[in-house]
Amino acid sequence: MGGPSREYFIKVGGDRQVPAKLGYTLLTALASEGIFLPTACGGRGACGLCRLKVLAGAGPVTETEVARLGDLIGAGYRLACQIHVDGDLVVDLPAGVLQAGSIKARLAAMEVLTADIRLFRFELEEPPSIGFTPGQYVRLFCPPYPGSPVPVTREYSIASDPAQPNILELIIRRAPGGICTRYCFEYLKIGQKVFMSRPEGQFRLSDTCAPAVFVAGGSGLAPLLAMLYQLANTHQRRPVTLFFGARTSSDLYLRERLSSFDRLIQGYRFVPVVAQVGQGEHWDGEIGLVTDAIQRAYKDLSGHEGYLCGPPGMIDAAIKVLTGLGMPTERIYYDKF
**Which positions touch ligand FES (CB under 6 A)?**
27, 39, 41, 43, 45-50, 79, 81
CB of 83 to ligand FES, least distance (A): 10
Judged by beta carbon, residue 48 or residue 223, the one nearer ligand FES is: 48
CB of 330 to ligand FES, least distance (A): 26
Judged by beta carbon, residue 47 or residue 150, the one nearer ligand FES is: 47
Query: CA–CA distance from 167 to each of 104, 162, 188, 234 (Å)?
Result: 11, 8, 17, 19
Instruction: State whether the Cα torsion 149-151-154-160 is positive or negative.
Output: positive
Judged by beta carbon, residue 54 or residue 117, the one nearer ligand FES is: 54
Torsion of CA 302, 308, 312, 316, to 10 degrees: -10
Decide if 159 contacts 257 (C-beta within 8 A).
no
With H, G, I as helix, E, B as strand and everything else as coil, classify residue 130.
coil
Q: Residue 277's Cα: distance from chain center in Å?
A: 30
CB of 31 to ligand FES, least distance (A): 11
Judged by beta carbon, residue 43 or residue 199, the one nearer ligand FES is: 43
Beta strand pairing status for 268-274 and 240-246? parallel
CB of 139 to ligand FES, least distance (A): 10
Judged by beta carbon, residue 70 or residue 278, the one nearer ligand FES is: 70
CB of 67 to ligand FES, least distance (A): 10
Q: How many CB atoms lie within 10 A of CB 144?
A: 15
Judged by beta carbon, residue 41 or residue 275, the one nearer ligand FES is: 41
DSSP class of 330: G
Nearest residue to ligand FES, by Cβ distance, number only: 81
With H, G, I as helix, E, B as strand and everything else as coil, classify residue 65.
helix
DSSP class of 325: T
CB of 162 to ligand FES, least distance (A): 27
CB of 314 to ligand FES, least distance (A): 24
In 163-267 the beta strands, taken as DSSP E runs, fall at 167-173, 193-197, 212-217, 240-246
- Which helix or strand (DSSP H or E) is residue 268 part of? strand 268-274
Give the residue among 51, 57, 98, 96 at the shortest CA–CA distance from 75. Answer: 51
Judged by beta carbon, residue 197 or residue 230, the one nearer ligand FES is: 197
Beta pairing partners, 196? 103, 140
